């Protein structure tokens, strides 16, 4: 469980507390930063004081998040704010620089190697960039069938198994002997989906998993996700920039801005009563099918950089409500309603 920190009370009341069960996955004060290792020329330049050493990218900054069994948690946020990094940490592909991840209430790091391997197999990730995540020299059938075969999950004929996995992801099994580059963008994405589902995971990290699909195939895949959740109690961390999709599929939604969670609430609540100014800005920009051509608006204010995050509230350079306090003090994630947390000083001002 979460140690007694100031935020712990909120976390308990909104997530673990209501089901009375330990969450399937829990992130406890996770931080992650990437250092850029300078190449030779840069190192020379630095040693001669011709250049400054490259800054570290603070991708995740103290994130605590719990996902309950059988729930779909939507994760939304600005491009580059750390969603994929967080997803990779949840999937056990990346170790956070600070903080801990627990799987069914136990610290991942403390698990015996066999259990850790098992947990890693139970958590699968559908990657944002399908092309980079598929081995270009392997046929689609091998990409999908390999892990289930190695882990003894196939009873019966491997070919039949692979065909089933293809069909389930809306792919024609006749294409299974092709290499990744012979597929269209959306077909490749479905190979990634088929591969992740083929090992019968309990937890699926979907990183922009339906972004490259036309809306009809997207509907088919989302329906499949919802079926699997009903039948197998599958749990999802669903990263997407498409708020329509997130609203449709999620039970709860977490909004991220520059490495921090700034708002977290049940899906209906967040779409009806967004609290954080960034969430409000997002919802205001959601394009809808219009009957006339209409202009798009450029971003007002300055985009903050994770290389040198702004002081205080990371959103203050763009926030229409920013006050002096916002520039100096980082707002904490606090309950604003039952199950609804937000990190904005306006909530104190209102009280």
Partner 1 sequence: MNATVLEVRDLRTHFGQAKAVDGVSFSVARGDVLGLVGESGSGKSVTGFSIIGLVDPPGTIVGGQIVFDGRDITRSSREEMRALRGRRMAMIFQDPMMTLNPVLRIDTQMIEAVQAHENVSRMDARARARDALGMVGIPSPDERLQAYPHQFSGGMRQRVVIAIALLHRPDFIIADEPTTALDVTIQAQILAEMQKLVAQNNTSLIWITHDLAVVSRLADRIAVMYAGRIVESGPVSDVLARPLHPYTAGLIDSVPSRNRRGERLRQIPGMAPSVARLPAGCAFAPRCARADAVCAQAVPLLTAGPREHRCVHPLPELRA
Interface residues with ligand SF4 (CB under 6 A) are 276-277, 313, 315-316, 319, 321-323, 326, 331, 344-346
Tell me if 128 contacts partner 1 by CB under 8 A.
yes
Shortest distance, position 187 Cβ to ligand ATP, whole Å: 6
Interface mask (CB under 5 A) for Mg ion, residues 58-87, using x and -?
Answer: --------------------------x---
Strands, sheet with 57-67, edge to edge from the N-terminal-most edge strand: 57-67, 25-34, 98-103, 106-107
Tell me if 179 contacts partner 1 by CB under 8 A.
no
Looking at residues 214 to 233 of the shown chain, list those that interact with partner 1 (rule: CB under 8 A): 214-220, 222-223, 226
Looking at residues 290 to 309 of the shown chain, list those that interact with ligand ATP (rule: CB under 6 A): 306
Coil, strand or helix at 66: strand
Shortest distance, position 340 Cβ to ligand SF4, whole Å: 15
**Residue 219 touches which member of partner 1, Mg ion, ligand ATP, none, C-beta under 5-8 Å by kind:** partner 1
Q: Which of 74, 82, 148, 312 binds ligand ATP (CB under 6 A)?
A: 82
Reduce the secondary structure of 174-243 to three states and give it as a string: HHCCCCHHHCCHHHHHHHHHHHHHHCCCCEEEEECCCCCCCHHHHHHHHHHHHHHHHHHCCEEEEECCCH
CA–chain centroid gap for 326, Å, is 27
Looking at residues 140 to 169 of the shown chain, list those that interact with ligand ATP (rule: CB under 6 A): none
- Enclosing H/E stretch for 322: none
CA distance 169 to 152: 21
Tell me if 298 contacts partner 1 by CB under 8 A.
yes
Shortest distance, position 311 Cβ to ligand ATP, whole Å: 18
* Minimum CB distance to ligand ATP smaller for 131 or for 271: 131
Total interface residues for ligand ATP by CB under 6 A? 22
Looking at residues 205 to 224 of the shown chain, list those that interact with ligand ATP (rule: CB under 6 A): 212
Positive or negative CA dihedral for 224, 230, 231, 232? Answer: positive
* Minimum CB distance to ligand ATP smaller for 166 or for 345: 166
CA–chain centroid gap for 295, Å, is 30
Looking at residues 136 to 165 of the shown chain, list those that interact with partner 1 (rule: CB under 8 A): none
In the beta sheet, which residues pair with residue 83? Answer: none
Looking at residues 36 to 65 of the shown chain, list those that interact with ligand ATP (rule: CB under 6 A): 36, 57, 59
**Residue 183 touches which member of Mg ion, ligand SF4, ligand ATP, none, C-beta under 5-8 Å by kind:** ligand ATP
Shortest distance, position 220 Cβ to partner 1, whole Å: 5
Phi, psi of 18 (to 5 degrees): -70, -30
Match 């996902």 to its residue by tokens.
67
In terms of phi and psi (left: phi > 0; alpha: psi -120 to 50; beta: otherwise), the region of 62 is left
Shortest distance, position 70 Cβ to partner 1, whole Å: 14
Shortest distance, position 297 Cβ to ligand ATP, whole Å: 20
> 51-69: string of b/e by CB count within 10 Å (b at 16+)?
eeeeeebbbbbbbbbbbbb
Alpha helices for the chain (secondary structure H): 8-11, 17-19, 40-47, 83-90, 113-122, 140-150, 158-168, 185-198, 215-232, 243-249, 267-272, 277-285, 324-328, 346-350
Total interface residues for partner 1 by CB under 8 A? 77
Question: Binding residues for ligand ATP, per CB under 6 A?
Answer: 34, 36, 57, 59, 77, 79-85, 128, 181-187, 212, 306
């Amino acid at each position: 469980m979460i140690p007694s920190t100031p935020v712990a009370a909120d976390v308990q009341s909104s997530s673990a507390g209501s089901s009375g069960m330990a969450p399937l996955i829990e992130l406890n004060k996770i931080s992650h930063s990437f250092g850029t290792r300078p190449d030779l020329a840069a190192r020379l330049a630095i040693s001669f004081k011709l250049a400054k050493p490259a800054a570290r990218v603070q991708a995740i900054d103290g994130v605590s998040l719990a996902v309950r069994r059988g729930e779909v948690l939507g994760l939304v946020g600005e491009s580059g704010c750390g969603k994929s990094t967080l997803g990779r940490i949840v999937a056990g592909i990346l170790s956070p620089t600070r903080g801990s991840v627990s799987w069914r209430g136990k610290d991942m790091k403390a698990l015996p190697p066999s259990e850790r391997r098992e947990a890693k197999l139970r958590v699968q990730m559908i990657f944002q960039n399908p092309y980079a995540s598929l081995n270009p020299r392997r046929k689609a059938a091998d990409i999908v069938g390999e892990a289930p075969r190695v882990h003894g999950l196939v009873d019966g004929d491997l070919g039949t198994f692979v065909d089933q996995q293809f069909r389930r992801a809306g792919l024609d099994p006749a294409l299974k002997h092709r290499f990744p580059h012979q597929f269209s963008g959306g077909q490749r994405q479905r190979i990634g989906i088929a591969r992740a589902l083929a090992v019968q995971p309990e937890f699926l990290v979907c990183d922009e998993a339906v972004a490259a699909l036309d809306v009809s195939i997207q509907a088919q895949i989302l329906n499949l996700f919802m079926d699997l959740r009903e039948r197998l109690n599958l749990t999802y961390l669903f990263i997407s920039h498409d708020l329509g999709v997130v609203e449709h599929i999620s039970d709860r939604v977490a909004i991220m801005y520059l490495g921090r969670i700034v708002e977290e609430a049940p899906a209906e609540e967040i779409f009806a009563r967004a609290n954080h100014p960034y969430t409000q800005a997002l919802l205001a920009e959601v394009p809808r099918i219009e009957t006339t051509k209409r202009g798009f608006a450029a971003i007002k204010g300055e985009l903050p950089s994770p290389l040198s995050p702004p002081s205080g509230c990371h959103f203050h350079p763009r926030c229409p409500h920013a006050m002096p306090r916002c520039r100096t003090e980082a707002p904490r994630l606090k309950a604003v309603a039952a199950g609804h947390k937000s990190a904005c000083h306006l909530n104190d001002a209102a009280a």
